[in-house]
Structure 1
Amino acid sequence: MKLYVPHVGHMEGLEDLLSGSEDIYAVYMAGTPDYVGTGRTNLSAPGLEEIREQTEYAHDKGVKMEIVLNSSCMGGQHLTPQGFNKINWYFDRLNDIGIDSITIAEPYFVEMLTKDYDMEVVVSVLSFVDSPQKAEFYEELGADTIVVDPVVNRDFTRLEAIKDSVSCDLKLLVNEGCLYQCPFRYAHFNFFSHANGPGPKLNVLDDYYYYKCLSLRINDPQQLIKSPWIRPEDLKDYEHITDTFKIGGRTHFTNWILNNVRAYTDRSYDGNLMDLLDCPRDIRDLFFIPNKELEGSLNQWKKCSKVCSKCGYCKRLTEKIVQVYSLDGMQQTLQPLNNTDGTI
């Protein structure tokens, strides 16, 4: 199994990460946002010398280095002469450093990197590859690896069709805690791409999408069950699709990342599933989902038509196993989710 692991972007974090596990195949981190943004908040923005130092350290440990430049919107800057030259210069520097792979979402960059560089070209989840047709298009553009849109993580017919339609490698994101079929997904990642990319910087009042998404999951906990995560115990069901898996969460602390590495390496986790999900702490600290009680749920999802109003399985499962943390005086206790409408 090839496990791609998030890294916050500074040397101290990388040292802690690689000294904490020998089961890491590759680490990935954001690049310098002055050139190309990313679809996530940057907790650290390493310069080229920092990237060089960390890449050399990872390579000394036998670990590959991947840079994430998966802005879903460049505002057209990359198609201007000035923007192209600036980005091309940055790609040159990363190539000189010896970066193993670059994750991008912009189709133009796929062709650009394929034609001029030796780095592996990885198509991001923010390219939303959820069908064999999209996978074929990106492979024709030059993709070496495609990170499949997690929205189809439980649709094995679709996954198998994608697998059969291309010869490039596939990678699956295992612990995304986002809403299934999220209506804010495109707009939110476009917002992040501008907020965490080249200027001009945005002067926004608040992140509407973040708080709206948060409230939907708090008020309707079945959305947590519907999220397209893959349990450590269920990796075996995906081995005919790929042997390459990605842990999301490059904004989290090293101990959280290493806990995920252990769980997915051991293919077992006896605890709260929320501990593993890449989702806001506001939700992780509110709900308890006993991971072991989810055994067998994948068999139901494999045959599910994804018409929730007719199925109701996730709703029933939520009411059966999900618990809520509450404050009883000064002590935090767990309470069952016994109501029928899913609200707290």
Structure 2
Amino acid sequence: MQGLQDLLEGPEDIYAVYMAGTPDYVGTGRTNLSAPGLEDIREQTEYAHDKGVKMEVVLNSSCMGGQHLTPQGFNKVSWYFGQLSKIGIDSITVAEPYFVEMLSREYDMEVVVSVLSFVDSPQKAEFYEELGADTIVIDPAINRDFRKLEAIKESVSCGLKLLVNEGCLYQCPFRYAHFNFFSHANGPGPKLNVLDDYYYYKCLSLRINDPQQLIKSPWIRPEDLKEYEHITDTFKIGGRTHFPNWILNNVRAYTGRHYDGNLMDLLDCPKDIRDLFYIPNTELEGAISQWKRCDKVCIRCGYCRKLAEKVVKVYSAGNTPEELQPLHKKGNI
């Protein structure tokens, strides 16, 4: 609650805040820092509404293992949706198509299609709108593909949101499997007894060994939001597993549309990555012009590799800006 209070005492451009629901009913695509009960959700919703801010609950499990299609599973989920509706939740974000249709037909809450529905084409957007979606959060993998973004905008009348600070691999081969893993690990039982998170460490090693992947990640700089205003005026900041001060720093950067510091500070990515690399955000000015006309065939282009060689630096043991070393001098690219 304190984190929410700190957030809503800050910038005035916040349209809505979101939080995870109780994983006993529907899981999410992220690790849960906490499992708020209905009373906690009620208290935070009332506080947000008092501040004129909408409350959104994220229940974006990418896999329910078929439980939601059994009588028992359906009744549990239906009961939980009903309780959230009574509390006054404004919107629910889901990835499961069945939930999109169920919510749109039976509840008076905005239905938001999650990034974990991977809406990356006008055809997918049309299908979800027909199911009852009020808003679609577009797959960030196409954040720099303006042709597709504009085609989606043209094809649907529902609202669109863009996730601005995702630090995942561009076109990550582990994406579907990893979110399915999270959905089961952080959702209704039976709980998994896994040895380790293979996907996390594999993704981590790929970026450490090939830092140009940091530049290819589909983030949007605060300064570049203006390039997307013809697509949407609603931008989503990811990072609900982070501490309030990190979230506040992001909110200030994106509402102010400027950040004079390490771009890694803003990205929703593992701390191991953020603490290793330094990317001066101001030195990325103008890169959006290249990405707007890029055909996404990296082997022919090489722009992100060259940009990484120029601007990405690695912290040395002292972990201070004075001790940063260019990548090409350390043989990382």
How would you bin the TM-score normalised by the shorter chain? over 0.9
CA–CA distance in structure 2, aligned partners of residues 329 and 271 of structure 1 = 15
- The 1:291–1:81 alpha-carbon spacing in structure 2 relative to 1, beyond 3 Å, is same
Do the aligned partners of 1:33 and 1:198 also contact (CA within 8 Å) in 2? yes
Once the two structures are TM-superposed, the CA of residue 21 in structure 1 deviates from its matched residue by: 3.1
What amino acid sits opposite 1:148 in the alignment? I
Once the two structures are TM-superposed, the CA of residue 338 in structure 1 deviates from its matched residue by: 1.7
> Could you give the per-residue CA deviations for residues 219-258 of structure 1, whole angstroms, max 9, x where no partner exists?
0000000000000000000000000000000011111111
What amino acid sits opposite 1:144 in the alignment? D
Residue matched to 1:5: none
Q: Residue 327 of structure 1 aligns to a residue in which SS? A: coil
CA–CA distance in structure 2, aligned partners of residues 155 and 168 of structure 1 = 20
Do the aligned partners of 2:133 and 2:158 also contact (CA within 8 Å) in 1? yes
Once the two structures are TM-superposed, the CA of residue 337 in structure 1 deviates from its matched residue by: 1.1
What amino acid sits opposite 2:184 in the alignment? H
Residue matched to 1:325: 315
CA–CA distance in structure 2, aligned partners of residues 108 and 303 of structure 1 = 37
Residue matched to 1:338: 328
Structure 2 matches for 1:90-109, cutoff 5 A?
Answer: 90-109=80-99
Q: Residue 20 of structure 1 aligns to a residue in which SS? A: coil
Residue matched to 2:117: 127
What amino acid sits opposite 1:222 in the alignment? Q
Structure 2 matches for 1:196-235, cutoff 5 A?
Answer: 196-235=186-225
Percent of residue pairs bearing the same amino acid type: 83
Q: Does residue 15 of structure 1 match 2:5?
A: yes
Where does structure 2 lack aligned partners over 5 or more consecutive residues?
A: none
CA–CA distance in structure 2, aligned partners of residues 261 and 83 of structure 1 = 37
> Could you give the per-residue CA deviations for residues 61-99 of structure 1, whole angstroms, max 9, x where no partner exists?
111100000000000000000000000000000000000
Do the aligned partners of 2:315 and 2:321 also contact (CA within 8 Å) in 1? no
Residue matched to 1:238: 228
What amino acid sits opposite 2:324 in the alignment? L
Do the aligned partners of 1:319 and 1:340 also contact (CA within 8 Å) in 2? no
CA–CA distance in structure 1, aligned partners of residues 175 and 235 of structure 2 = 22
- Runs of 4+, deviation exceeding 4 Å: 328-332
Residue matched to 1:50: 40
CA–CA distance in structure 2, aligned partners of residues 172 and 331 of structure 1 = 31
CA RMSD of aligned residues (A): 1.4
Residue matched to 1:111: 101
CA–CA distance in structure 2, aligned partners of residues 272 and 286 of structure 1 = 11
Q: Pick one of 17, 33, 41 that aligns with 1:27.
A: 17
Q: Residue 215 of structure 1 aligns to a residue in which SS? A: helix
Aligned residues: 333
- The 1:300–1:329 alpha-carbon spacing in structure 2 relative to 1, beyond 3 Å, is closer
Once the two structures are TM-superposed, the CA of residue 16 in structure 1 deviates from its matched residue by: 2.0
Residue matched to 1:4: none
> Could you give the per-residue CA deviations for residues 158-191 of structure 1, whole angstroms, max 9, x where no partner exists?
0000000000000000000000000000000000
CA–CA distance in structure 2, aligned partners of residues 90 and 341 of structure 1 = 53
Q: Does residue 256 of structure 1 match 2:270?
A: no
Q: Does residue 288 of structure 1 match 2:281?
A: no
What amino acid sits opposite 2:313 in the alignment? Q
Where does structure 1 lack aligned partners over 5 or more consecutive residues?
A: 1-10
